[in-house]
Amino acid sequence: MKVRQIVFFISVTYFLLSGFAFGQVKQFDKLEQLYAQQHYKLVYMKSVKLLDRPDNDFSMLPKFYKSLSLFQLAKNDRWLRRNKKALYEATALFEEVKNSNDGYKVFNAHIYEISALKEDLFAWGEDLRRTGKDETADTLDKILLTLFNKIPSINEKDKIVLPNSTTSGSDLRSQAIAFAQKQIGVPYVWAGTTPKGFDCSGFTCYVMKDFGMNLPRRATDQQKSAKKVKDKNVQKGDLVFFNNGSGISHVGIIVSEKGEPLKMIHASSSKGVIITDLESSDYWMKRLDSFGTYFD
């Protein structure tokens, strides 16, 4: 074979292999994109297909996204009943990625997704406790303690910023916000409804009850029974609801004035009662579902 032919053969081979490699990268990027869009079933199915191909063994990303999608899908009661081992499989995959040679690289590159998953699992556990599903909640407790105890919380970037109020203190909404702010620093406790510890909906129940409003206990029921508020009309004292892909999972109280950047006071799973700037938080804005109010 002539030198020119050899060079041509090598060049073509390199081109084909490079194209294949980039194709794989694109497939992995697609997993990340679909996961960010909360298409968890698609992520799961595509991850399974990628793992069935030996030529993908060079990367831990398919296992990583299969694990994350399994955790997210398990939050659906019907899906979990049909896939009873989902949490155990998700845990095993997560640990396998974590303990691999490239585990730290995967985690560092995707720490936001892992932190967000931690928040979603906390919210799910809160709902499990309230609905009496203690066995699943106990399993989830162990998973959070074992896998996520050293994972930083998404809320660690939050700052407590007290909003300026231009409304008279005699206004009922202003009074409610002032009362809510007195609870800042109260720790997060699953199923907590008192200043000894709150969960998210326990906090909103406690604040509103002091002003003659008896809210349903669960965040999803609070959303259903509240008077709906359009985005442009949101004001302090209104409730803001979040959906993590399996229904309403969190609730907070708006503390900002109408037309100002949205801020809420809420019982966060990491820092207890804090005030969060919603519009500077990618996590909360992606999950923002709706607004409602119990004020006239």
Where residue 257 sits, what CATH number does that domain have? 3.90.1720.10
The answer to whether 181 and 169 have CB atoms below 8 angstroms apart is no
Q: What share of the chain is helix, strand, coil (3-state, %, to 5)?
A: 55, 15, 30
Number of folded domains that form the chain: 2
Residue 22 and residue 101 share a domain: yes
Q: Does residue 118 lie within any of the structural domains?
A: no
Confidence at residue 3, expressed as pLDDT on a 0 to 100 scale: 43
The one-letter amino acid code at 110 reads H
Instruction: Copy the structure tokens of residue 125.
Output: 């556990």
Residue 188 DSSP label:
B
Q: Would you say residue 133 lies in a domain?
A: no
The answer on 178 and 87 residing in a single domain is no
Same domain, 56 and 166: no
**pLDDT for the residue 126:** 80
67 in the same domain as 164? no
Q: Which structure tokens are listed for 287?
A: 């999950």
Same domain, 168 and 283: yes
Say how far apart CA 237 and CA 265 lie, in whole Å. 10
With beta carbons less than 8 A apart as the criterion, state whether 236 and 257 touch. yes
104 and 162 assigned to the same domain:
no
285 in the same domain as 164 = yes
> Within 10 Å of residue 10's Cβ, how many Cβ atoms?
10
Q: 152, 195, 185, 180: which is closest to 255 by C-alpha?
A: 180
| pLDDT score, position 155 | 58
Q: In 3D, which of 102, 70, 113, 115 has the Cα closest to residue 88? A: 70
Cα–Cα distances (Å) from 63 to 138, 144, 150, 270, in that order, read: 25, 19, 21, 27
Over the chain (296 residues), the average pLDDT of each successive run of 10 is 43 38 64 88 94 83 95 91 94 93 86 88 82 88 88 59 44 92 91 92 95 93 96 95 89 93 90 89 90 93
Token pair of 100 as six digits: 């691999």
E strand intervals along 125-278: 193-194, 197-198, 227-229, 239-243, 248-254, 263-268, 272-277
Q: Give the range of the structural domain holding residue 42, as residue numbers without chain letter.
A: 3-109
- Tell whether 16 is covered by a domain: yes
Based on the domain organization, do 95 and 223 belong to the same domain? no
Same domain (yes/no): 102, 229: no
- The answer to the question of residue 287 being in a domain is yes
Domain boundary residue, one of 74, 109, 144: 109
Residue 117 falls inside a structural domain? no
pLDDT in tens, 49-98: 999 888 777 889 999 999 999 999 999 889 999 999 999 999 999 999 99
Backbone angles phi, psi at 196, to 5 degrees: -75, -20
Q: Which pTM was predicted?
A: 0.67
Q: Are residues 177 and 93 in the same domain?
A: no
CA 192 to chain centre: 20
Give the residue from 233, 237, 226, 252 showing the smallest Cα distance to 172.
Answer: 237
Q: Report if residue 119 sits inside a domain.
A: no
Domain stop point among 76, 109, 142: 109
Question: Does residue 105 sit in the same domain as residue 173?
Answer: no
- Note whether residue 280 is domain-resident: yes
Same domain, 89 and 196: no
In a domain, 204, yes or no: yes
